[in-house]
Every structure is written in C-alpha cells, then in structure tokens.
Structure 1
C-alpha cells in the first residue's frame, strides 16, 4: 500500500530555522566570535541550582500535575503580580517547557483552520511556523517606518484591510527580539483601545520584561486581562535557557482549554526543574539586576562604537539585542553582509532578513556576550567596514 501523502503538509511547508542553521555553519570558522544567539552568558544563580540539587536528592523524579506543582503556580502569580501590577490567580497559569511551549500551547488552543494571526515585524520568526502548523495564516505588519513599534493607526488599518479574514489574534513581543525596542505605558493603553474593540486575543511574549532599561515594564495584561495570553519564563531573567521553564497566563476559560493542549504536548513540566523555578520566583526577585546592569554597559558601548562605524541603531530599550542598519556602501542584502563578515572578519551576526518584512538591510547583534568578546568583535567590524 502506498500512502497518499507521507507527511503532515503543514509541517512540510515549514522551514528549519535559518538563524540556528547559520549559527551552526559559522561555528566551523576558526576564531569566530558569535553574536548570534539570545542566550545569557551568565550562570544560573547559585540558590536556584541548589534547589534543583535538593529536589533530586529528595527524589523529586515523578510526574507532577499537568499544569505544574501547586506551590510553583502560587509563587509564580505572586511574583508576576507584584512586579507588573497584575491580578492573576494560581489557576490562571500553566508551567510550560520554556516560553516556546507556552507559545505553541497558546496558539494550538485558540486557532481553528483558516484563522488569521497578525504579526508585527521585524520579529523573531517562531510565531509564524507555529501558526501555520496549527492551520492558521499570518498577516505581517511592517513596523520599520514607525520606529519598530505597532501604532494604533496601523493596527486599525490592518484590521480594515483584512475584513474578509477571521482575525483571531495579534502577536506582541516586547521588549523585542530582534530590535530591543519596547512599548511605553501610554503606547500600550492606546493599543489596548483598538484591541478591546476588535475582541481578538493578544499573544504577549514578555520573556524579556525584566531586561527593560528606560522605564518600568508594563504588561498589556494589566489593561486587557480577558484578552491577553501572557507568555514569560526564566530563561532571560535568571539565565536559565537550558532548564526550559516558562509560564503561560490567561483568563480562566482559556487556561481550562490550554491545559489540554499542554497535557498532550508534554504531559507535565520536569519535576526537579520546577523546584529550581520555585526558588527563582520565591527568593530571586532581584536576580536579574546584576545582569541587567552589565547588559546596559554593553549596550552603551556597542551603540557608541557601531554609530562611529556607520551603523544606524534602533532605540534598544530592552532585551540584549541591537538592530543595526548596514552602512549604505554595503547595500541592503543582509545575508550577503553577514556571510562576508563571518568569512573575512570572523564575526557572526544574524541577518535582518530572517525577521520578516522591515528587517532587510539590518543585522541583529546579541550582546549577551562578554565585554572582551564585544570589544574584539567591534575592532574586527571596524577594520572590515573601513577596508571596504
């Protein structure tokens, strides 16, 4: 018997991440300095590591409740409610396998075939393939002419231009990967008015919230608790990328359905990791501050040095990325630029084209790297730019 179609068509249409593939490819270059991936160069706080060790010694190696251990859910809502003026209850959060699983669970829970998700770009591309795998479609909104911020006017115009589509959700990522741009409280309040009228969900990825530099981070969930699906985690705030622990918050009726998607994706979060997370949200409210201070120094250094080399840099108010416009003499082909830079200068950046409409002509630099590496990278970039 011959199968009519061997694989899921939606999965077949999704490409492997070109960001991760490029990172793998350039790793073969001797002496390369990679400013490619968004991974803190700090270690997980000691008290968090010790909590995991204690959990292992206590034989915490069994299944937990699907949405996570009750103590962690309770401590998590206290942590986020306190930091961001929210009003979640413990039954309004699911502990996920990183923020990525939170995104996948949220979209799987709300999407029906043909539903449309609005995605402001440039953006980390994960939201598009997950939407497509769940039989949805994406409409991108280029924000490059609005300082990389989605304006209420552009959101209204996009909704009006897509009246024939069933717009189910808007994705909002801030502080942003790749630009580092975030939203002010007033900007969010203005957006909230349009979103409220539309009735759509908003998938808010706020995993970089604790790395906000200019002002205090404001969560859209403060204004639209019944429409916001809030995704966060400890990867960036507590340098826990490899632990894979995230959180998905939402209204009770959403969480009731999302638990099903989560259950059949992963069963439950890793047991001992949840006890590490419990230590982080119970006793680690200030763990991000030393990292944040160091990132700020790196940001200031890179902004200054890149500007002197002819790059224009988007206003980076959070996260640990710079989105820099390639000097005019190199044209706008970002893939060509980063490949040549890696080959000739042994510095690896990510091309802006990887982040969708509005990204071409830019490169993303991650400053989640040591100052020593950043200084060497800057010197190499300067030499490369000046020689061309």
Structure 2
C-alpha cells in the first residue's frame, strides 16, 4: 500500500527555501498568544515530583476528561484524550470501519486532505459529496450518496478549507442519515471556537449511538504543538478505541494535558472573543484586497481560511510555487482539497502579515 505525503509539507518546504521574503499562509498555526493560565500550568508542572513525569492514564488525565465531559454534556467514560484532532479522527474512522457495516467513507468535496489519507491507511474507500459554492453541504446529496456500504460520513464544521459553518438542520440530518444506514457520523469540530456566523451546532446536541465527535485544543488555545485533542464516542464504541489508542501511542503528554486543564478552568470567554474579533478583522482586510485584485473568493463563516480564484491562474502546485517566487506569498493549491476547487487557492489568515500578503496579491494580479 502506498501513502501519499500531504502537499502541505511540500509547500512549506518550498517556501522556506525561497530566495526571497515569503508570507506563510499555508498551515493553520495561530500566531496569537495562548492563555496565560496555560503558561502558568507549564511553569507549575516543572516543579512537580518525579512521579508526575511518568506515564499518565492512557485514556488521558481523569481531571481533564471530567472537565471536557462536563462542558460537552457527556459521560466521562465516553471521552478519550488523543494526540490532537488528527488521532481523534483516525480513531473515529477506524471504529466506523471495524463495525463491518461497509468499507466506504463519505467525504465532502472540497475535503481536508488528511481524511482521504486516513481512509486509505485504514483500508477504506473514499466517496465524495460535493459542497455548493459557499461550502455548504446539502443533506439530500449525502442521503443520495449513502448506501449499505457506507461505514462513515465525515463532516467538518466550521470547515477547512471553505470556512462554511453548517446550520443545525444540516447536522441533525447528517446524524439521521448515519442512523438510517447504520453508519457513523464523524463530526470534526476543531474550529468550534472560531464560528463567525453564530450558528455553529455540535453533533453532540443530538443524542445518538451513530455519531463520534472529535476536537482539539490546538486551535482554540493556539497550541498546535501540544497535540492535545479528544474524541467523544458512544458507549459501545469507546473500549476498542481506547485499546487502539494505547497500542499506537501508549498515552499522550502529561504536562501538556495538565496545562490545558488549567487553561480551561481559568480562561474566560473574553480570550476566545478577542481571537474571533482578530480573525474577523483579517477576513475583512484580506477579502478587500481580493476585491481589488478582481478575484472570486469564499467569505468564511468560521475557521481560518479563505479560498480564492484568480482568472487564468488555476490552483495547481506549479502556480503555488510561482506565487511564492514572484509574489512572496505561500498558499495551498486547490487541487490539494479535491476536484471541485482545482481552480482555487487557499490562504490561512493566521499571520500578522495578512495585510502585507493581501497587498502583494493585489499588486501581482492587478
């Protein structure tokens, strides 16, 4: 079996080796500060006794799992702490396929490229349901694509790469479709704190044995390097997920989990509100420049990303490299996200140089 390395790594390496200054708009690494309580937690941890530097419980620190369970309205035994949302999605998709209800994973197009890669790695087959021009998913299209071979439906809201936020009715219907076909809805909600529309709905709102919710603190606390995520499983699916997690990772980072726990307990809503406001300002700045450049673009309702299409400049890897060399801006090729956005480019707004990047693009394409 051959695995394809995601294009993210190629583009980041190409930009890093460029002979000129480049504004990095490739990956979703927040450039703002994590909560002060998180730093305090790390400092405190450094002085703990040696036993606190040993393995934590494989499923995660009990106190952190209890905090998450209380916030999400689930039983603590349903929560598994993972190595970021990446492992959470891997475990969720694995559990869906292990039920032997089929080998098909329904994905959206455009798609976050790690989902197809995980599907291949787990021995599943990919099928795609096209989102509309704004990135919204029509449940009727999902139902038409589903079959007895469908093991899982993977949904991401707020969405990477389109920035779409699915309304409550869409999430309700996706849960219902999973139930109808005895499949699992895998709801990746890692950008839930970056809902700019005010209409984000978690799949946990709908009680069902046919949905697994995944999340992480990578984005919400601006700590992508800490790799602390989690998955919420139905009770009958959690035990094997714990076993797979233990066999793959043994356990996660104990200091990182402790620092996240302290941050959750001591960080007020104003922290998240400031970051959403910062992101909203960047969206306005960047899309104004895209208007000046005559580009077509998606206005994100959430997450960190803007997709843009420039006339006569398709979103190929070759054109992304050309943009690095000639404009000094690094984005992602649309072809990395599926067939439907091959003419587009994706830019991550997690850099303080958004305005500078916008000016460079406007000048380059004018």
* Bin of the TM-score, shorter chain as denominator length: over 0.9
- Counterpart of 1:217 in structure 2 is 200
CA distance in 1, matches of 2:333, 2:268: 34
Counterpart of 1:37? 27
What residue in structure 1 maps to residue 95 of structure 2?
109
SS of 2:248's equivalent in the other structure is helix
C-alpha distance in structure 2 between counterparts of 1:126 and 1:51, whole Å? 31
Whether the 8 Å CA contact 2:287–2:299 is kept in 1: the answer is no
Matches within 5 A, 1:138-157: 138-143=126-131, 145=132, 147-157=134-144
**Unaligned residue ranges in structure 1 (runs of 5+):** 1-8, 82-86
Change (3 A) 1:283 1:78: farther
Distance in 2 between residues matched to 1:19 and 1:109, nearest whole Å: 27
Q: Deviations over 1:50-104 (max 9, x none)?
A: 112212311321111111111111011222x2xxxxx301111011111111112
Q: What TM-score, normalized to structure 2?
A: 0.94
Structure 1 stretches (4+) deviating beyond 6 angstroms?
none
How much does 1:281 deviate? 2.1
Structure 2 equivalent of residue 119 of structure 1: 107
Residue 285 (structure 1) shift:
4.5
Cα deviation for residue 147 of structure 1 reads 2.7
Q: Does 1:49 align with 2:55?
A: no
What root-mean-square deviation, in Å, do the aligned CA atoms of Structure 1 and Structure 2 show? 1.6
User: What is the distance in 2 between the residues matched to 1:186 and 1:127?
Assistant: 24
Partner Cα separation in structure 2 for residue 15 and residue 375 of structure 1? 34
Contact 1:116 1:136 in 2 (8 A): yes
What's the offset of the Cα at 1:216?
Answer: 4.1
SS in 1 for 2:281: helix
Cα 1:382–1:43, aligned 2, differ >3 Å: closer, same or farther? same
Q: Kindly report which structure 2 residues correspond to 1:78-227, keeping only aligned pairs within 5 A, or say none.
A: 78-79=70-71, 81=72, 87-112=73-98, 115-143=103-131, 145=132, 147-159=134-146, 163=147, 166-227=149-210
CA contact (8 A) 1:142 1:357 kept: no
Distance 2:176 2:235 in 1: 22
TM-score, length-scaled by structure 1: 0.89
Cross-structure match for 2:349: 367
Residue matched to 1:5: none
For the residue of structure 2 that corresponds to 1:329, the secondary structure is: coil
Give the count of matched residue pairs: 360
Q: Distance in 1 between matches of 2:303 and 2:321?
A: 25
**What is the aligned counterpart of 2:222 among 223, 239, 243?**
239
CA offset digits 1:214-252 (Å, max 9, x no partner): 114210221243211111011111101111100111111
Partner of 2:246, secondary structure, is helix
Unmatched 5+ stretches in structure 2? none
Q: Is the 8 A contact 1:196 1:224 kept in 2?
A: no
Given that residues 122 and 356 in structure 1 are in contact (C-alpha distance below 8 angstroms), is that contact kept between their aligned partners in structure 2? yes
Taking the aligned partners of 2:64 and 2:175, their CA distance within structure 1 comes to 30
Q: Deviations over 1:13-66 (max 9, x none)?
A: 111111121111111112111111110001221111111221231132111111
1:333 deviates by: 4.5
- Residue 124 of structure 1 and its aligned partner are, at CA, apart by 1.3
* 2:39 maps to 1:68: no
Q: In 2, are the aligned partners of 1:208 and 1:319 still within 8 Å (CA)? A: yes
The equivalent residue for 1:15 is 4
In 1, are the aligned partners of 2:96 and 2:183 still within 8 Å (CA)? no
Aligned partner of 1:347 in structure 2 is 329
